[in-house]
Structures are given as C-alpha cells and as structure tokens.
Structure 1
Amino acid sequence: MIRNLRRAVSRARRTTVDLSHPARSPLGSTVVNCVIYEDGVRQPDAGPVDDALRRVRKSGRGFVWIGLHEPSETEFAGVAELFGLHPLAVEDAVVAHQRPKVERYDDTLFAVFKTCGYVEHEELTATSEVVDTGELMVFTGPDFVITVRHGRHGSLGPLREALEASPEQLAKGPAAVLHAIADQVVDNYLAVADAVQNDIDAVESTVFTEQAGRGDAGRIYQLKRELLELKRAVAPLDRPLRALGTQSLPPVGPDIQPYFRDIADHLARVTEQITSFDGLLDSILQAHLAQVTVAQNEDMRKITAWAAIVAVPTMVCGVYGMNFDHMPELRWTYGYPLVLGVMVVACFVIHRSFRRNGWL
C-alpha cells in the first residue's frame, strides 16, 4: 500500500501544479486549501474554514484538512482560536525557524519538519547554493489537519492528490496524512543527498586531476557548509519519528506506528549518507591541501636549484670585481674566455645534477 502511494506521489509531482500558487488559493492569500474528507473521499464545496469544521463535527465523520502558506500572526489567530490550538505551538508555527520536533498538547499533536530542496547549478563554485531549506508545521487532531508551510519547498499539492487517489489509506484519518507528510519529507532528503553526492563526486574527480587548482579548497568548503545545512534538517528528526513509531500519541494509532518506524529507518539511511559524505569531504580537503603543499615544495626546490646555479657565476664575478692587482690570469690574453668557460661548465654540471635528482 505504501509503495503504491509513493508511486502515486512521484507521478503527481510530475503532473500537478503547486497548490501554493495564488491561482489555486481561492480562500485567501495564506489559506492554500480547505477540504473535507469522509471515508477517505474528498467532499465537494467545503466552504470557509469555520463552516467546514462545523460540518465535520456535526456529522461526526471524517476530518478537515487546511493548508496555509506563511501566515502572519493576525491571519493565523482566527484559525488557532477556532481549533483551540496551544499558544506555544501557534507561536512556533508563525515565527518558524524551529528544530524538527513532535509535541503533544492534550489531544493535538504539533509536528515540525525541515523541508529541503536541491538547487540546480551548472558548475559548483565557492559561493554556490546547493541546499535550500524551509519548514513545514503540522497540527493533527481527532478531526482536523492543519499544515503551515514556510519557504519555497514542501508543497503538499501533489501529496494531497496522491492521497485522494488512495482513499483506503486516507480513510485512516489525520494520522495517515501526518505519515504521508513525514514520508514525503524524508524522501526529499534522500533525493537531495543523492544529488549532493554527484557534486562530491565531481569535486573529487577535479581534485585528483592535473588541472586541480588552489581554488578547489573554496568549493570543498562551500560543499561542507551546504552539507551541514542538510544535516541540521535531518539529524534532529530522528527522535520525533521514533516517538511517533513507539509511543502512544493520539491521534496516531497502533496501525499507523509501523509506518513511522519505516520512515525512521529511511531517515537513518540519510543520516549515514551525510556522515559518510562529511568524512569523504574531509579526506578530499586533506588530499587537496597535501597536493598544494607538494606543489609548493616543488616550486621551492626549483627556485633553490636555480639559485645554486646562479651562485657560481655570481661568486666568480664577485671575486674578479675586487680590483686587486695580483689575481690569477689577470693579465693573460685568454683569461677572460677561460673564466667564462669555467662558469658555463660549472653551471652545466650543477644543472645536470639537479635534473638527475628531479629538482628541475
């Protein structure tokens, strides 16, 4: 069932329009959608939020799913009062910039997820943005789901349509929506990690080629910074998912808990990938620095070798420049050519010696 749902989500991502677009938000600038579900089937004409909630509670069946995008404190106040949301959770949902977590307030769960997206680029530079993050907050109650999205990523339009194509899963209630959201977030982590691996492979190939330059250190360091941003989104989510999979947290029932444990396993895979990437980047950086050091040593050896060669004629010319009256072959006709010949031969012998030793 979960595998079929994931396939449906993948197809929907390729064929649907982002529900955060103003054209798909007839209920206001922040309310993306308000839908009623009964027995896993979407009901027509949910109307305003208060009417939708009144219909659900009057019938005692189904639940209402409300999606919001970056609401202000004033805009969210009415929704918070209508659903009786805890003030601390409301503050976190509006302000954002929270760590991934799951908190229980009476019969309502408040979950925070970090959403991630890979930023496409033709070539990785020392200033390239690789990972872009956002936030997704989910309020889950007995008869409602409220999602609050911050940032450009984490659109739930394709997910909503995929769930509607699987009414037997959606019929399990708000907990099924919470599971589907967590599953999509972690699947995006996997996709981003795979894309980052391609960048790491490209940097590694460049470092170990003859064209490697000293500017590669900046690219490696930038990649490590972007990887750290991904790690900050992924690592804190482990404990909340473990709690959803093992603890009794209404409205998450025992039939949904195994699905959260499965997501936790996928998250562990991403965490292991990030850890291995970080270690690999450390090794690449050390190898690059070692190559730079070797290149500098080679330059210094060449400079030293040429300095030694130049020292011979410098010394001879310095001696004959002292202007003493009594010097060897000073008055001889062939004294000047002889001295030049000695300097040339000495320089040639020293140069040949350095070439044999690999200094030149």
Structure 2
Amino acid sequence: MECVIYDKGSGRSELVECELPDEACRLVLKHLRGLNDDEFAWVRLVDPSEDELVQLAEELGLHPLAVEDAVHARQRPKREWFGDVLVIALKTLWYVEDETAVETGEMMVFAGPRCVLTVRHGAVDPCAEAARRLASDPDMLRHGPWAVLHAVLDVVVDAYSDAAGKVRAALNRLEDQVFSTSRVDHTASIYSLKREVREFRDAVQPLVPVVQALLSGPGGEQRQTKIGPYLRDVADHLHRTDIEVRTLDELLNSVLDAQQARVGTWQNDDMRRISAWAAIFAIPTMVAGVYGMNFEHMPELGWTYGYPLAVTLMATASGLLYRAFRRNGWL
C-alpha cells in the first residue's frame, strides 16, 4: 500500500508507505483524517484483501458494491457515481512480443473530493508513470483528485496506443508471410492474433463512452473550464486508438480471407497437377492395355518393329501432353 499526500498550491508531495497491511491502513487513515483544505491524497493498492479495502472504504465513504467490484475485479470498463465519489473501472493492457499476445489487467479508480483510491490487478502498474508525470508537472495538482484521474487515464490510453502500434507491426509481418511465395498455412496464427485484437477491443471500446461522459456528467460544466481540455485530449487519443483497433480487426478478417483463398488456390494447383499426370500416364496405360488383350488377329503383332513403335507412341503422346500442360501452367 502506498499513499501520497499532495498540496494543490505548492505542488508538494509526501509519500506514506508501509509493508505491513494493518500498520499501513492505520498510517493512511491517520493522514487522511489530518488533511487540510489545500491537500488531497492518493492511495494505491495492489491486489488488496477485502478486509484491507473495507477499512479504507469506511473512512472514504465508498459504496459496498463498488468495494466488492474492486476486490473481485473482472469488470467491464464503466463509470458510476456514488454520492460525490466517482468510480471508474478500466482495463490495463500491454503487448508481449515473444508470445504475440495482448495481456490485460484491471484497475478501479475511486475519485472523491479530497482523496483518490486506485486498486490494481495485473502485472503492469500505470500508477508509477502517472505519479512521475504529476511530479514533473506540479501545476496539474491544482485540479485536485481530477489531476490524478487524468494522469492515470492518460497513461493507460498511451499504453493502448503503444500496444496498437505493436499489434499493427505483427499484422504487417503476418501479411508478408501470407502473401509470400512459400506455401505455409498461417490460419492458426491469424486466428490467434484475431483473438488478441478482440481482447484489445473489449478493453478499449467500452472505455470510449466512459471518458467522453466525464465531460458531461455531474460537474461537467466546471470541468469544461478547468481540466476539461486535458480530458478531451485523452478522449481524442482513446477515440483514435479505438478506430485503429477496429481497423486491425477488419484487416485481420481480410488477411484470413486471403489465406483461405490461397489455400484454395494451392488445392486447385495440386488437383491440376494430379489431373495432368493422370492424363499423361493414361496414354501409356491405354496403349499397353490394347496390346495386352492377346487377341489372335491384331495389327502389328507379328511385325519386328511393333514393340519399338508402341513404346515410341507412348513416349511421344506423353511428351506432347506434358509440353501442353507445362505451357498452360498445370505442371
């Protein structure tokens, strides 16, 4: 557990950190109760227990349903108001290049008048980068808890954009493989990447209306004149990433169709080759079959050059067919 106390006017910050959960809760609650009008707190939790979160929830006035969602996670991105506390659920996301996979985590943000509580599940921590950005731009702290909310959203959306670029690069490599001269079936790889993109969409698409609603919900007019421009910038970036992810999904459909078309073409090529060779071998089979019927009265049976003539006929006819099939691209 970590708690940072910010001063809106001076930009000063004080970190409260403790390894023991019970002692950390006591220290954090003590600092929260001692905040003055110019101060606000940011409490950061990672995979908290229900008891640990309930202690803070009672002090911050958090709704029990929101606390339950934060503990158990697995929430769709959403926005809810519980009194004067704004609750936002969102998904963190990162791309693992070695596995060509999109991994996701979850985060709940509770933004009240004088405190922000973030609850994270997953390996990637956007709070560390958000805290660094706030430290490098103390003027943002005049917006109070909304500055923390903006910083977290900004980091998460930037991560979305970065992951979308890496997925685009993976798709470009897959396209090059599909349209190469090698006859390798990439259907499994395409389908796997398509599943990752769908998981990407599940994180990005529901968050778009959530961020847009921040400018029009309770207190929206006030935010329009204060932190509104920053939130609109996040909304624009998120909207652009949403369009990019939708485009990637559509491109994967096209690549999958192209792969299936190529597989069909390969099968047709194989069938033409098989048919061509079957036709070539049919002529010797036919001639040999005719001369193997052993009738007593057949032309050329007693002729000295009958056998060489039959072999020559077989070879000539087969050669002419082979040349015709080669010229037509069947062989």
User: So what's the TM-score if we normalise by structure 1?
Assistant: 0.84
Tell me, yes or no, if structure 1 residue 105 matches structure 2 residue 82. Answer: yes
Structure 1 stretch displaced more, 333-342 or 244-253: 244-253
The structure-2 alpha-carbon separation of the partners of 1:137 and 1:44, relative to structure 1 and needing over 3 Å to count, comes to closer
Question: Which of these residues, 177, 182, 190, is aligned with residue 211 of structure 1?
Answer: 182
- Structure 1 residue 228 displacement after superposition: 0.7
Counterpart CA distance in 2 for 1:314 and 1:342 is 12
Tell me, yes or no, if structure 1 residue 291 matches structure 2 residue 268. Answer: no
Q: Which residue of structure 1 aligns with residue 43 of structure 2? A: 66
Tell me, yes or no, if structure 1 residue 50 matches structure 2 residue 29. Answer: yes
Q: Give the 3-state SS of the residue equivalent to 2:206 in structure 1.
A: helix
Q: Give the 3-state SS of the residue equivalent to 1:171 in structure 2.
A: helix
- 8 Å Cα contact 2:214/2:220 also seen in 1: no
Q: Which residue of structure 2 aligns with residue 165 of structure 1? A: 136
Q: Give the partner amino acid of 1:54.
A: R
Counterpart CA distance in 2 for 1:164 and 1:286 is 49
Counterpart CA distance in 2 for 1:304 and 1:152 is 57
Unpaired runs of 5+ residues, structure 2, are 18-23
Counterpart CA distance in 2 for 1:158 and 1:287 is 41
Question: Which of these residues, 328, 331, 339, is aligned with residue 299 of structure 2?
Answer: 328
Q: Give the 3-state SS of the residue equivalent to 1:333 in structure 2.
A: coil
Tell me, yes or no, if structure 1 residue 231 matches structure 2 residue 208. Answer: no
Runs of 4+ in 1 over 3 A off after TM superposition: 43-47, 249-254
The structure-2 alpha-carbon separation of the partners of 1:280 and 1:229, relative to structure 1 and needing over 3 Å to count, comes to same
Counterpart CA distance in 1 for 2:141 and 2:255 is 47
- 8 Å Cα contact 2:6/2:14 also seen in 1: yes
Q: Which residue of structure 1 aligns with residue 166 of structure 2? A: 195
Q: Which residue of structure 1 aligns with residue 21 of structure 2? A: none
1:79-128: CA deviation from partner (whole Å, max 9, x where unpaired): 1122121011001101101111110000111111111111122xxxxxx3
Question: Which of these residues, 243, 263, 281, is aligned with residue 272 of structure 1?
Answer: 243
Counterpart CA distance in 2 for 1:170 and 1:70 is 27
Counterpart CA distance in 2 for 1:250 and 1:350 is 80
Q: Considering Cα pairs closer than 8 Å and 6+ residues apart, tell me whether 1 or 2 has the greater RCO.
A: 1
Tell me, yes or no, if structure 1 residue 89 matches structure 2 residue 66. Answer: yes
1:42-64: CA deviation from partner (whole Å, max 9, x where unpaired): 136687111011111xx333111
Q: Give the partner amino acid of 2:66.
A: A
Tell me, yes or no, if structure 1 residue 36 matches structure 2 residue 15. Answer: no
Counterpart CA distance in 1 for 2:104 and 2:221 is 28
Counterpart CA distance in 1 for 2:194 and 2:85 is 38
- 8 Å Cα contact 1:245/1:259 also seen in 2: no
Q: Give the 3-state SS of the residue equivalent to 2:75 in structure 1.
A: coil
Counterpart CA distance in 1 for 2:171 and 2:211 is 29
Q: How much identity, in percent, do the aligned residues show? A: 47
1:261-296: CA deviation from partner (whole Å, max 9, x where unpaired): 221111110011111111212222222222222121
| Number of residues of Structure 1 aligned to a counterpart in Structure 2 | 320
Q: Give the 3-state SS of the residue equivalent to 1:213 in structure 2.
A: coil
Q: Give the 3-state SS of the residue equivalent to 2:54 in structure 1.
A: helix
The structure-2 alpha-carbon separation of the partners of 1:93 and 1:251, relative to structure 1 and needing over 3 Å to count, comes to farther
The structure-2 alpha-carbon separation of the partners of 1:326 and 1:78, relative to structure 1 and needing over 3 Å to count, comes to same
Counterpart CA distance in 2 for 1:211 and 1:310 is 29
- 8 Å Cα contact 1:119/1:129 also seen in 2: yes
The structure-2 alpha-carbon separation of the partners of 1:162 and 1:258, relative to structure 1 and needing over 3 Å to count, comes to closer
The structure-2 alpha-carbon separation of the partners of 1:270 and 1:182, relative to structure 1 and needing over 3 Å to count, comes to same
Q: Give the partner amino acid of 2:109.
A: V
Tell me, yes or no, if structure 1 residue 357 matches structure 2 residue 328. Answer: yes
Q: Give the 3-state SS of the residue equivalent to 1:49 in structure 2.
A: helix
Q: Give the partner amino acid of 1:168.
A: D
- 8 Å Cα contact 1:154/1:185 also seen in 2: no
- 8 Å Cα contact 2:42/2:116 also seen in 1: yes
Counterpart CA distance in 1 for 2:181 and 2:320 is 31
Counterpart CA distance in 1 for 2:61 and 2:150 is 23
Counterpart CA distance in 2 for 1:108 and 1:239 is 19
- 8 Å Cα contact 2:90/2:106 also seen in 1: yes
Unpaired runs of 5+ residues, structure 1, are 1-30, 122-127
Question: Which of these residues, 171, 185, 210, is aligned with residue 240 of structure 1?
Answer: 210
Q: Give the 3-state SS of the residue equivalent to 2:43 in structure 1.
A: strand
What is the RMSD of the two structures over their aligned residues, measured on CA atoms?
Answer: 1.8
- Structure 1 residue 320 displacement after superposition: 2.1
